[in-house]
Amino acid sequence: MTTLLEAKGVFLNYGAIPVLKNIDLELIQGERLVIIGPNGAGKTTLFKVLSGELPPTKGAVRMGDDDVSRHTGFRRVRRGVGRSFQVARVFLEMTVLDNVAVSVEARHGHEGRGAGFFRISTSPEVMDEAVGLLAHLGLSAQQNTLASELSHGDRKRLELAMILALRPRILMLDEPTAGMSPTDRAAAVDLIDRIVTENNITLILTEHDMGVVFQLGTRLSVLHYGELVVSGAPEEVRKNLLVREIYLGRNSRHD
């Protein structure tokens, strides 16, 4: 078992307010870890610390043998971390194809063979790869559409295409199906499932929808008031009385 990402004794305070408290977490190669917990438990904050958006107040985040606690998000991207956001981060005034081409170009840039970061190259190699990624995600028909004109679900798919262009080893998805209709949600889950399997990517996500949690997760960790209180296989976590009390509730459809 190879540990790709590890948090050790991580604390995060917003000012005087402690939000993450002594988090120990390991992400094992090939798994799909879902962080669940009530609103305000600290899930997004944990993602920010793991992806390099926020340095921990105390503790370490490691990738392999390296302490990356104070490495920026960009440096972690170069180490193989791709992250999505609750509100998809895409370039709204650019076409779908150009959005993906920017990401492909950025990767080529840090691989030392591009025209430079955030510069759109018209090289056929970059464009072919971008077109291929859009086909992979079922967005070919929208490739000349402005990102601002996409539906919410398609914008999330575009964001995923942009992340995949970076060829991540670890994919971090912060509530990937938030705000989606049931149909879009089912399609998004199928897509994530397929992409992760086909590209051999290790997945860590936060999610509120229990259907998505149990469909995608191979391991669940429960965050409660900033502490990881339970971690285990989905079935174990589902049966855990503490979890039922603090999170799933009596009326969970998985009862």
Ligand X SMILES: Nc1ncnc2c1ncn2[C@@H]1O[C@H](COP(=O)(O)OP(=O)(O)OP(=O)(O)O)[C@@H](O)[C@H]1O
Decide: is 117 part of the binding site for ligand X (CB under 6 A). Answer: no
**Binders of ligand X in range 130-149 (CB under 6 A):** none
Q: Which of 10, 23, 41, 161 binds ligand X (CB under 6 A)?
A: 41
Nearer to ligand X, 171 or 205 (CB): 205
Site for ligand X contains 16 (CB under 6 A): no
Least Cα distance to 43 among 159, 199, 178, 235 occurs for 178
Helix (H, G, I), strand (E, B) or coil at 144: coil
CB 46, min distance to ligand X, A: 7
What does the CA dihedral 51, 46, 193, 191 come to, rounded to 10 degrees?
-70
Among 10, 33, 42, 217, binds ligand X (CB under 6 A): 42
Exactly one of 40, 138, 179, 182 binds ligand X (CB under 6 A); that residue is: 40
Say how far apart CA 183 and CA 25 lie, in whole Å: 33
Binding ligand X by CB under 6 A: which of 43, 107, 108, 224? 43
By C-beta, is 97 or 237 nearer to ligand X? 237
Is residue 224 a contact point for ligand X (CB under 6 A)? no
19 binds ligand X (CB under 6 A): yes
Note whether 56 binds ligand X by CB under 6 A: no
Number of residues binding to ligand X, judged by CB under 6 A: 10
Nearer Cβ to ligand X (99/177) = 177
- Tokens 């509530």 identify what position? 175
Say how many CA atoms lie within 13 Å of 175 toward its Cβ: 17
Cβ atoms of 226 and 14 within 8 Å: the answer is no
Amino acid at 40: G
Cβ-contact 167, 192 below 8 angstroms: no
Q: How far is the CB of 50 from ligand X (least distance, A)?
A: 12
Contacts (Cβ under 8 Å, ≥6 apart) of 122: none
Amino acid at 35: I
DSSP state of 146: B
Interaction of residue 39 with ligand X, rule CB under 6 A: yes
Residues of the shown chain interacting with ligand X in the complex, contacts defined by CB under 6 A: 14, 19, 37, 39-45
